[in-house]
Amino acid sequence: MKSSLIGLSLLSFCLCSVGCGGGKGGGVSDTAVVREDSIAEKSDLSVRAGEMADSVLAGMSIEEKAAQLMMPALFSSDDFFTLKAVGEYGRKGVGGLVLLKGDSASAAIIADSLTKASSILPFISIDAEWGLGMRLKDEPSYPFNSEIGEEATETEMFDYGASVGRQCRELGINMVLGPVVDVAAPGSIMRRRSYGSDPVRVSDLAVAYARGLESEGVMSVAKHFPGHGSAKGDSHKFTPVIERSLHQMDSVDLYPFKKYIEAGLSAVMVGHLAVPAIDPEMQPAAVSHTVISELLQRELGFKGLVLTDALTMGGAEGAGADKVLEAGADIVLVPVNTDEEIKRVCNAVVSGRITQERLDESVRKILFYKYLLLLKRDSQ
Compute how many other C-beta atoms are within 10 angstroms of the C-beta atom of residue 133.
Answer: 20
Compute how many other C-beta atoms are within 10 angstroms of the C-beta atom of residue 128.
Answer: 28
Residues in CB range of 162: below 8 A, 6 or more apart: 28, 29, 32, 212, 213, 215, 216
Give catalytic residue positions: 236, 309
Handedness of CA 287, 288, 289, 292 (dihedral sign): negative
Question: Which residue spans within 257-334 are E strands per DSSP?
Answer: 267-270, 305-308, 332-333
8 A C-beta contact, residue 169 and residue 161: no
Beta bridge partners of 97: 124
Angle at the Cα of 210 (from 165 to 10), degrees rounded to 5? 75
Rounded-to-5 percentages of helix, strand, coil across the chain: 50, 10, 40
> What is the DSSP code string of 29-85?
-TT-------TT-SSHHHHHHHHHHHHHHHT--HHHHHHHTEE-EEEE--SHHHHHH
Rounded-to-integer distance, Cα 124 and Cα 96, Å: 6
Burial grade of 307 (CB within 10 A; 0-12, 13-18, 19 or more): buried
